[in-house]
Amino acid sequence: MFSFVNPFLLSGLALVSIPIIIYLLHRHQVKEMEWAAMQFLQEIIEEQQKRLRLEDLLLLVLRVLMFVFLVLALARVGFKKGSVTLLGDRGDALVVVDASYSMATKQGPRTRFDAARSKADAIIRELPKGHGVSLAKGSEQSETVLGGNLADHDLVRETVKEMQVTDFAGRPDKLVGYIREFTKKSPSVDQTVFLVSDFQEQDWGSPNDGLKSALTELCKKHTVVFVPVGDGSDANLFAADLTLLQGAVRVGQTAHFAGSVLNQGSEIAEDVPVELIVDGETIATRTLSVGPKQTAEVLFSHAITQLGQHRAVLKIGQDANPADNKTYLSFEAHDRLRVLAVVDQPPAEGIAKPTDFVELCLNPFRDGSEDPRALYNFVHIGMQELLAENLSEYELVLIADVNSVTATEAKHLEAYVQAGGGVLFFMGNNVSPTLYNDNLHRNGEGLFPWPLIDAPIKNDDKKQPLLLSIQQADHPVWRHLVSGKKNYMDTVRFYKTLGFKPSESKRAISLATVPATDSEAAAIAEFTLGTGKVIVVGSSADLSWNNFAACPTFVAFIQEALKRLRIPRLEDKQFRVGASVTEQVTFEQSQSTGELINPQSESRSVSVLKEGGRYVMHLGVLGFAGVHTLRESGSADGREFSVNVNPHESRIVSMQTSELSKIYGPMGVVVDGSSDLSVAFANIGAGSGLSNLCLLLAVLFWISENLLAHRIARRQG
């Protein structure tokens, strides 16, 4: 299959018809004449007819071939082998250099990205002069670095040298989608696309149908060359996570950090130094050994002495890929956080309340909220006082063992949750499921999308606990309790609980179930309303229906539930690179513009838009790992939030040429894993050579035609 740089010149193939037309015209322009000396002619014909016809045909063929090869040479022909274009002198080239952070992996003294730049440089250097080149960075957020098919190859090569690895992950489908869009927009009809990448096995090893069809389509119209630069090594450590163990940090108190390190390699990583840096100061360094494909956790504690925002970084020692050796956490140190604890009757001083266990979890001191070290200031009220409270002043509303919620109270709570607030419900002996359903379920439109089952669930043998089955093991409330085979919740005994009857609802998640009469009932559930959340524990907050409140797991559960339910603040969120963030702002904040400063200290102005009655700022796609700051324009203070790299990209195992050829060869992709790009550039040479060969053949045919014509003329005398 042939390809052409100047396909429009193929119209010149019409020239081929000239000798044929002349030949046919001559044949038809026959003079007739009577002739006497026919005997001589007949003798000659008998002797020479075959030769004369052969010469005639040979002349015609030589002339036709001369035109054909001349036109092919001018059209700069290349050739395809099967469905794969073997790079003739194609129109323009797009060089895509994978800039995902796995490309920062070191291979000897150089990184994969260094190798990719060298390859890209070699590709551009070898491309025929006068052909346009575009340059792009490939990742999940691919971007064109130099578009417009530049003829100045030197400029493109200089630009290649200045390219840097990004913090984005690589996504083959997005990358190929970008290439397709680029080639569609490009004026050049057929292009050669060079993708220089480490071709991570996890991404490229088993392409989905969408990627296959996209690549096949692309290859039908363009030449696609994969230039792999990665080696087969898999040794890489990933600073996977850094979190605060407590729901919030109180100034003057010790903050507890949990860091985790993932070993993506197939060999154990020993004596890995792990360092915690808070506000630029190294707090502590631990040494870990992490088994292959294992995650190891490390705990740090540090007293936070200043109110306000802080930055923590978990940093591991140098390994193959330094781009994923840090994980960032921004957090705020508070003075006191208010929690509204609601029970059925106004609590009397000194009388145990169902919320005491929760308070103890959050303020683990003898005097509870009264202790000067306590972070949470618990405000205890009876249910009848709820309407008098301005709920937006509280980080959390805790409702435990309340008999019923009136419609007005339900509305009051709904408004709070709708605006982003969080409510934690515990059930108990006083609870009337029917009354709850009347105002909180409201046929699925209230706070509870699911209805409570009318009667508590319990075993006939009261001493036998219910079989508690944890759902959604990756849910944040189970962060420290359930992971993989680990399940600390198996020490928890629910003897009696109210349960929800699950049904199809986008607002509800079942977090734990127990066997009910006819099916499983949700004993712990999370509901969403607006931007806020509700977590309901069907059992009691004290020890009357379970042992949960006395278990250590209760502390972790309450801490994580609190984090989950607190009014979401930008600074409390953790984002991944590549996330597109929209932040809601108040009316007052909407009066000015925002300014986003990334970890590279580059600032960008962000406008406030009104969307659906809300004021929002579109922060756009976050492209850097690190701590970002969003502030009001002109203001010195801002809110900080952390962005970390995508863990998916930390698996650095690359595919090799043979594997790539096996998978992508049938789709029409050329894979050039040679050190000198000999596959691609032998073919470019072949393309160029083919064009030159055509020119040479045209000249040869022209000379042959002349020689034959001359010989015939000589014979004719």
Partner 1 sequence: MSKYLAKYLNPKAISAIGGFVVNPKGLVEGNMAGAHKSPFHGFSVEFAGHREYLPGDDPKHIDWRAYYKRDKYLLKQYEADTNLVCQLFVDVSESMRYGSSELTKFEYANYLAVSLAYLVTKARDKIGIGLFDDRVVQYLPPSNSLGSTYTISAMLEDFTPSKKSEIDKTLLDFAERIGRRQLVILISDCLLDIEQLKYGMARLQYDRHEIVLLHVMDPYELDFPLDGHVKFKGLEGLEELKLQPKQIRKAYLEKVNQHIQKLRSACEASRAEYVLVNTGRPIEEMLFGYLTSRLTHLTRGGRS
Positions in the binding site for partner 1 (CB under 8 A) = 26-27, 29-45, 47-48, 52, 55-56, 712, 715-717
DSSP secondary structure string for all residues of 265-303: SSS-EEEEEEEEEETTEEEEEEEEEE-TT-EEEEEEEEE
CB 170 within 8 A of CB 98: yes
In the complex with partner 1, the residue whose CB is nearer, 43 or 158, is: 43
CB 640 within 8 A of CB 330: yes
Minimum CB separation from partner 1 for residue 703, in Å? 21
Upper half-sphere CA count for residue 674 (Cβ side, 13 Å): 13
Kindly report the backbone phi and psi dihedral angles of residue 422, in degrees, each rounded to the nearest multiple of 5, phi listed first: -130, 140
Measured distance CA(581)–CA(561) in Å, rounded: 23
Tell me which residue of 556, 348, 448 sits closest to 356, measured CA to CA: 348
In the complex with partner 1, the residue whose CB is nearer, 47 or 370, is: 47
CB 377 within 8 A of CB 338: yes
Measured distance CA(40)–CA(45) in Å, rounded: 9
Cα angle value 401/403/408 (rounded, 5°): 115
Question: Going along 139-268, which residue ranges are E strands?
Answer: 143-150, 191-197, 223-228, 237-244, 249-250, 254-263
CB 211 within 8 A of CB 173: yes
CB 558 within 8 A of CB 358: yes
Cα angle value 84/87/92 (rounded, 5°): 120
In the complex with partner 1, the residue whose CB is nearer, 14 or 707, is: 707
In the complex with partner 1, the residue whose CB is nearer, 20 or 45, is: 45
Kindly report the backbone phi and psi dihedral angles of residue 43, in degrees, each rounded to the nearest multiple of 5, phi listed first: -60, -45
Tell me whether strands 396-400 and 482-483 are parallel, antiparallel or unpaired: unpaired
Residue 717 one-letter amino acid = G
Q: Which residues pair with 513 in a beta bridge?
A: 469, 522
Determine the length of the chain.
717
Minimum CB separation from partner 1 for residue 37, in Å? 5
**What would you report as the CA-atom Rg of the chain, rounded to the nearest whole angstrom?**
38
Local structure of 19: helix, strand or coil = helix
In the complex with partner 1, the residue whose CB is nearer, 36 or 348, is: 36
Measured distance CA(452)–CA(434) in Å, rounded: 8
Question: Going along 498-566, which residue ranges are E strands?
Answer: 508-515, 520-529, 532-540
**46, two tokens:** 């008998």
Local structure of 499: helix, strand or coil = coil
Residue 299 one-letter amino acid = L
**298, two tokens:** 């490390």
Measured distance CA(91)–CA(549) in Å, rounded: 72
Angle of the 38-74 helix axis to the 678-716 helix axis, nearest 10? 160
C-alpha pair distances (Å), 47 with each of 36, 39, 42, 296 = 19, 12, 9, 97
DSSP secondary structure string for all residues of 612-651: TTEEEEEEEE--SSEEEEEEETT-S-EEEEEEE--GGGG-
Buried residues in 600-618 as b, exposed as e (16+ CB within 10 A):
eeeeeebebeeeeeebbbe
